[in-house]
Amino acid sequence: MKQNFTVRKGALDGVEAFLKVAQHRNFRRAAAELGVTPSAVGQAVRALEARVGATLFTRTTRSVGLTEAGERFLSRARPAFEELVAASADARDLGQRPEGLLRLSVPPSVIPILLEPLLASFSESYPDVEVEISANADRVDLAAGGFDAGIRMGQFIDADMVAVPLSPPFRLVVVGSPEYFAGHPRPLRLDDLRQQACVRLRRSNGALSTWSFEGQQGAIEIAVSGPFIANDFPTVLGAAVKGVGLAQVPEPVAADAIGAGKLLEVLAPFAPTAPGVFLYYPSRRQVLPKLRAFIDHAVSVARSPA
């Protein structure tokens, strides 16, 4: 199938040679600056003139001048070529040192637990990198969304992604407020959940999430019911704190509320362990210095003693 080029293939060949000759009004000086022979410059300019369909230089044994077509070509080619050179330099800089905009897709629940502790120190260490956080509980296509990387719980990351652990494994805990338990008995067995009001989580694909547990026979999934549905853990946790119902959330998300006595854990013997939170991205070959710097910094902070 024939390809259609916005710019004809090879159309830029000879432009740099033309610009150097136009600058010096001399083929030999242009060749010396470019590090090639005068004949090579002459051939490049003649090939360019053939493609353009007009003579760009008037040549005599004593001097070189621009034709009217050459003047017009120069007026537009020079700024365009300078922009190309600048664009190449910018791209090269991004490939050599940490700078530019780093876009991350992150669940809201991760921001206060993992990101807030490291963003200030990362920005101080890498002032040329701007970090943009898109707080979204949905799974996103990183490439289509223009993201450099994402952060998710390990079980929700596709197998073809490169994943870097940012936290150790943690439990998924069932919690409820003292106010809720004032009117409801504490569940002791998994079957007791049938008589409980549960705050449920809706996944990005529209499905309601089941609750996961570990029993004597292995993993157990239970479809719970209740009066409230949310699509992110912070909202689910907030509803539980208000006494709306029980909630199953990652233990780090509930740790502060449990420590403050706002939530109580139940069904602890059945709590499963999740693999943890990971930073993920499509390919090792595509890692720019800005992302590599963020990965190294995040891992360093995660491994530092609290």
CATH number of residue 52's parent domain: 1.10.10.10
Pair 197, 267 in one domain: yes
Pair 58, 199 in one domain: no
- Can you give the pLDDT at residue 286? 66
Pair 152, 282 in one domain: yes
Q: Give the H/E segment covering residue 50.
A: helix 38-52
Is residue 1 one of the residues assigned to a domain?
Answer: no
Is residue 107 one of the residues assigned to a domain?
Answer: yes
Number of domains in the chain: 3
Range of the domain at 294: 100-168+276-303
Instruction: Dig out the tokens for 121 from the structure.
Output: 């120190």
- Can you give the pLDDT at residue 288? 87
What is the residue-level pLDDT of the chain in tens, covering all 306 positions? Answer: 344 434 344 456 789 899 999 999 999 999 998 999 999 999 999 999 998 899 999 888 788 999 999 999 999 988 888 888 777 766 665 556 788 899 999 988 888 888 888 898 999 999 999 999 998 877 788 888 899 999 998 888 888 899 999 989 999 999 999 999 999 999 999 999 999 999 999 987 788 999 999 988 899 999 999 999 998 899 999 999 999 999 999 999 999 999 999 999 999 999 999 999 999 998 766 678 899 999 999 888 877 655
CATH number of residue 296's parent domain: 3.40.190.10
Single residue among 43, 73, 96 that ends a domain in this structure: 96
- Can you give the pLDDT at residue 159? 86
Question: What is the Cα–Cα distance from 200 to 244, expressed in whole angstroms?
Answer: 11
Question: What is the Cα–Cα distance from 253 to 245, expressed in whole angstroms?
Answer: 17
Single residue among 37, 67, 96 that ends a domain in this structure: 96
Pair 68, 105 in one domain: no
Pair 43, 192 in one domain: no
Is residue 28 one of the residues assigned to a domain?
Answer: yes
Per-residue model confidence as pLDDT tens digits over 193-231: 999 999 999 987 788 999 999 988 899 999 999 999 998
DSSP 200-233: EEB-TTSPBPPEEEEETTEEEEE----SEEESSH
Is residue 3 one of the residues assigned to a domain?
Answer: no
Pair 163, 281 in one domain: yes
Single residue among 75, 96, 117 that ends a domain in this structure: 96
Pair 145, 233 in one domain: no
Longest dimension (CA), the chain: 104
Pair 243, 299 in one domain: no
Pair 174, 269 in one domain: yes
Name the burial class of residue 96, with classes exposed (0-12), middle (13-18) and buried (19+) by CB atoms within 10 angstroms of its CB. Answer: exposed
C-alpha closest to that of 91 among 243, 242, 304, 288: 288
Pair 158, 287 in one domain: yes
- Can you give the pLDDT at residue 63? 84
Pair 174, 246 in one domain: yes
CA 293-276-236 angle, to 5 degrees, is 110
Pair 187, 199 in one domain: yes
Per-residue model confidence as pLDDT tens digits over 258-271: 999 999 999 999 99
Strand ranges inside 98-217, DSSP E: 100-106, 129-135, 149-153, 162-165, 170-176, 199-201, 211-215
CATH number of residue 187's parent domain: 3.40.190.290
Q: Give the H/E segment covering residue 116.
A: helix 116-125
Q: CB-based contacts of 111: which residues, under 8 Å, 6+ apart?
A: 133, 135
Per-residue model confidence as pLDDT tens digits over 166-192: 989 999 999 999 999 999 999 999 999
- Can you give the pLDDT at residue 220? 95
